Amino acid sequence: MQLIVTIAETTAEAALDAIRRLREDHDGIELRLDTLQNALDLGMLRAATSKPILLTNRGGPTPDIAAAIAAGIDLVDVEHGNEDERVAQFRDRIVLSHHDYEGVPDLDALLGSMQGAAHTKIAVTPHTFSENAALLARIAPGVTMIGMGEHGLYSRILAPFFGSELWFAGTTAPGQIALDRALAIYGDGQARRRLAGRSAGVPPAVFAIAGNPSGHSLSPTIHNPKFREHNLHAAYTIASFPTFTEIAAPFAAGVPFAPVGLSITAPFKEEALAFARSLGATIAPNAAEAGSVNTLIRTRTGFLADNTDVDGFAALIRGSNAAIVGAGGTARAALVALRRANIPTTVYNRTPGRLGALPLSDLQDFDGDLIVNTLPVPLDLPPRDGVTRVDASYTVGPSGLALLHAQAVRQFEIFAEAISP
């Protein structure tokens, strides 16, 4: 794969400055002319980096290909439908692209009509697992497939693992991923070259986080480096779909491009337990006691459901009297860890009753030394001396990131055991 960084600044000066400030570990730059409000000197652009440059004018006329090449620009993007004799003339310097921001067209017909360029790029918007799988199934030499949007993250992240040629990092397109996260997912230049070699052989074992939404998830930046470190032929992606069944059904059936293992986040953790039971899965003690599942995997002998959130909380919690805020699947895992640690615990929730919860308004009267917030929003409580607060969500507080890494330790062990030779 080639990791291309998209630069989409509003002025030529800002674009050149952004290019000069880029870290070296990338394979090329795409400069978006359509976002610029003033003219850019192509000679200055070429002088700003030694990396290959792709020139794009999305939604506007094709840049002057001859002038770009004369200035030392490596590639020019041509939107499908705007081809002319220049595409044939400069075939080896053209990325012929098609974009659909609403859905997925007939991919076979589209590929059949996109001829005459060295590079073919199709960026469309899948909404289902099957549409993502259709993109991955049509990856071929010289073809780049990109799933856009939240639901397209499944194939966007997986595409390089299946041989897709170009991968665009940035924040300019729906579902695009920033460079730092991309480098964590795919590794340095040496790792990406190994990935390109592997993608032509046996497909990787696929893992994914299932949630609604889960596009913000950092789990791919945790598990993909671990797969590389342990030399496991596997890839971890994001399955952000409105229903759990959308990804759970292909997982259970073992269809092509489906995951062999799932990390499960809100709001599917309790539903995942019922689903696991319907499969006849082995229910590990953590999952059985918590009544929720955050890890579901197909092993050589059947399905296994576990809850490594319990392990993560057990590694972090310290106290003598605790409060849990929330009553969902994550709260259930925290309750198990606190119970095993013999820490008396009171549950508070916006809707009282579930898990024996008291009204959330009563939390202000809590007189303990540990508060575990499992809600996806910050608590409206002033800090208290001697009270430790643990936020389960890393979008709420830094302790959530510690929990994410802590639960991933056991979760990765489960994944690795299932696919190791």
Structure confidence at residue 87 (pLDDT): 87
CATH topology of domain 223-307+403-419: Rossmann fold (3.40.50)
Choice among 51, 121, 226, 269 that is catalytic? 269
How far does Cα 280 stand from its chain's mean position?
29
**2-203 and 311-400 in the same fold:** no
Facing residues of 119 across strands? 95
Domain boundaries, the chain: 2-203, 223-307+403-419, 311-400
Q: Into which CATH architecture does domain 311-400 fall?
A: 3-Layer(aba) Sandwich (3.40)
How far does Cα 99 stand from its chain's mean position?
21
Q: What is the CATH number of domain 2-203?
A: 3.20.20.70
Mean pLDDT per segment of 10 residues, for the chain of length 421 residues? 96 97 94 96 97 96 96 97 90 97 98 94 98 97 96 98 96 90 96 82 93 96 98 97 98 98 96 98 98 96 97 96 97 97 97 94 95 94 91 92 97 96 82
C-beta of residue 402 within 8 angstroms of C-beta of residue 216:
no
d(CA 393, CA 376): 6
C-beta of residue 391 within 8 angstroms of C-beta of residue 378:
yes
Question: Residue 269 catalytic?
Answer: yes
Residue 280 is given by DSSP the state T
Containing 144, the helix (H) or strand (E) segment is strand 143-147
Structure confidence at residue 23 (pLDDT): 86
CA distances 296 to 154, 196, 334, 418, Å, are 17, 29, 19, 11
Number of Cβ within 10 Å of residue 113's Cβ equals 12
Residue 120's nearest CA partner among 102, 138, 133 is 138
Number of Cβ within 10 Å of residue 52's Cβ equals 14
Q: What pTM was estimated for this model as a whole?
A: 0.96
Residue 408 has phi, psi (to 5 degrees) of -70, -20
Number of Cβ within 10 Å of residue 274's Cβ equals 11
Structure confidence at residue 245 (pLDDT): 98
